[in-house]
Structure formats: structure tokens, C-alpha cells
Amino acid sequence: MWPNVSSLGPCFRPTNITMEERRLIASPWFAASFCLVGLASNLLALRVLAGARQGSSHSRSSFLTFLCGLVLTDFMGLLITGAIVVSQHAILNWHAVDPSCRLCRFMGVVMVFFGLCPLLLGAAMASERYLGITRPFSRPAAASQRRAWTTVGLVWATALALGLLPLLGVGRYTVQYPGSWCFLTLGPEPGDVAFGLLFALLGSFSVGLSFLLNTISVATLCHVYHGQEAAQQRPRDCEVEMMAQLTGIMVVASVCWMPLLVFIAQTVLRSPPAMNSSGQLSRATEKQLLIYLRVATWNQILDPWVYILFRRAVIRRLYPGLGAQSRSLSLQPRLTRRPTMA
């Protein structure tokens, strides 16, 4: 607890913001509109996913399971965090609602959980497609969907375990500028530094792994498509579609999350520390954190639209000539029978 806020709970830091400034920054109408757009987008994606799962192949069914887990995670993240933020924007007094800091700790866990899950799921999807493209015979097809749900569950468990670390003494969750949300503390304490670096490095590693595996998968598809045996091993429409969607998800995650992850790592490692002994950050640092967090939130809105817009039906409507180039041929090589002499 910081010395000049000893009468408040452990999640409150000193801030140099007036109530009038808080009203200008924290608009409940903007936050509510933002959340409603995101919730509607994810609901639409879930509806489209429900129709796409019927009659899909084993490899596509596994990929759609990961997508379903991703969209469900984004939907629940917007629903829970949006409800808290909108209410706090309307009240503008976190201490009056949560003097014991229980709500702040809950929101901190939720922010870390729903922040890491899309990045970890993106890496899991990239790994699944990498194995499906480069080693199509290495996995039993019958267990693909069950294995995908198991992987999604492991991702959720990993993100939740990391989010619970501050409740066990590693790091702290505190109310952040302008007083309407809680997140990890960018302080110089060893626990804060360790937790901030763990969050930033795990997220960055997930993005980097996705980039590496997706690059190899796309290169493999291009090699098969343009190789000497392209007529026999040309990728199917669904394989190209899945890689297009996965690449889009990776790009969105990178653009939305990498600025925040880099900023967290830079801030906790800064010398002299960005946070003073009283627990106060500079106004510029507080504003940067808020801006990067808002950019990261767009990931939950854009993810469903990547799937909705990068479907074969949409691409064929925009580019009719592409549909005739690769219909029913597979990545798996065909066995051709050579003519024999009678």
C-alpha cells in the first residue's frame, strides 16, 4: 500500500486527475456503444460458425472449433469488462463502489485472462494448421475435434493461472487512469516487474510463434500450388480459406496487442522507474497506457469480422475467377498408376 493513500484499499494509487477531466475522458455512452458493436459482431460470427460446422471435414472441423473458442472468449471478454467499465464511467467513483478492492482484483484477472487468450489461441491455431499442412498423416482425424476442445481448455487454464498470480502475491492489480478500470501495476517492485514481464513476454512469444508457423504454412501452400506436381497436389479451397483467416487473425492481434505489450515491458524495466515511491505515474505514461489498452480492445471486435469476411462465399463473390482455380484437390499426394506393357 502506498503511504499517502493508507486510508484506501490496496488497489488505489494517487492520481492527479480532477472530476471534470474524468467526465471528459470517461464517456459511458461511448463505452456502451463500443461494447454493443463488439458483442453484435461476435454473435454474428457465432451464427455463421454454427452453419459452417455442419458437414465440414475433419481438419476444418478442428479449425472451426478453435475459431468457436476464440469468438466465445472475445464475446465473454467484452461482456464482462464492458459491464464493469460502463458502470464505472457512469459512477466515476471506484472507491465508493469497491472499497475492499474485490471488484478491482476480479477485473484485473479478467483483463489478463481475456487479453492473453486470443494470443494463445492464435498460436494454438497456427500450430494446428502447421501440422495439418506439413504433416497431414501424423494425427488421427477422428480425434481432431476432441483434441481441439482440449487445447482450448488448456489455453483457458493457462491464461487463468497467470491472471491469478497477483492474488498469490506476484504483482498487483490497481485502479488505472482515469479511474474506470483495473490492470496490472507498472511499478518497480520485484513482483510488479516479474508479472508485467511475464504477461508481455508470453503475449509476444505467442504472436511471434504464430508469425513463424503461419509463414511456414503459407510457404508450403505456395510451394505445393506452384510445384512440379501442382496438378496432383493443389490445395483445396478450404485449406486456402483457413490460412487466409488465420493470417488475418494474426495481423489483427499483432497490430492491436504488440504496442501494449512492448509498452508494458519498457515501462517496468525503465530506469529510473516510471512510478515514484508514492505509486504515481506521470500523466503522459497514464495516457499512453489508456491509449494502448483501447487499441488492444479492438482485437475483440475485429476477430469475428476476419472470419466473416474471409470466407469462401465472400471471396468468390468479390473475385469470381478464384473459385474455378482450385476445387476439390487435396494437399495429400495422389497415387498415379503408370501404364504397363501388356
Question: What is the per-residue pLDDT across 101-153, written as a single tens digit (0 to 9) for each?
Answer: 999 999 999 999 999 999 999 999 999 888 888 876 555 554 577 888 999 99
- Average confidence (pLDDT) over 161-167: 96
| Domains of the chain from N-terminus onward | 26-227+235-317 (1.20.1070.10)
What confidence category does residue 198 fall into, taking pLDDT thresholds of 50, 70 and 90? very high
Least confident of 144-148, 237-241, 316-320, 338-342: 338-342
Query: 176-194: per-residue pLDDT in tens?
Result: 988 889 999 999 999 999 9
Q: Helix/strand/coil (H, E, C) string of the chain?
A: CCHHHCCCCCCCCCCCCCHHHHHHHCCHHHHHHHHHHHHHHHHHHHHHHHHHCCCCCHHHHHHHHHHHHHHHHHHHHHHHHHHHHHHHHHHCCHHHHCCCCHHHHHHHHHHHHHHHHHHHHHHHHHHHHHHHHHCCCCCCHHHHHHHHHHHHHHHHHHHHHHHCHHHHCCCCEEEECCCCEEEECCCCCHHHHHHHHHHHHHHHHHHHHHHHHHHHHHHHHHHHHHCCCHHHHCCCHHHHHHHHHHHHHHHHHHHHHHHHHHHHHHHHCCCCCCECCCCCECHHHHHHHHHHHHHHHHHHHHHHHHHHHCCHHHHHHHCHHHHHCCCCCCCCCCCCCCCCCC
| pLDDT value of residue 233 | 47
Q: Distance of CA 297 to CAs 185, 239, 304, Å?
A: 19, 29, 13
Rama region for 336: left / alpha / beta (φ>0; ψ in -120 to 50; rest)? beta
Q: Distance of CA 301 to CAs 61, 162, 253, Å?
A: 23, 24, 11
Query: 205-262: per-residue pLDDT in tens?
Result: 999 999 999 999 888 888 776 654 444 444 456 777 888 888 999 999 999 999 999 9
| pLDDT value of residue 151 | 93
Query: 54-112: per-residue pLDDT in tens?
Result: 655 556 778 888 999 999 999 999 999 999 999 888 887 888 888 899 999 999 999 99
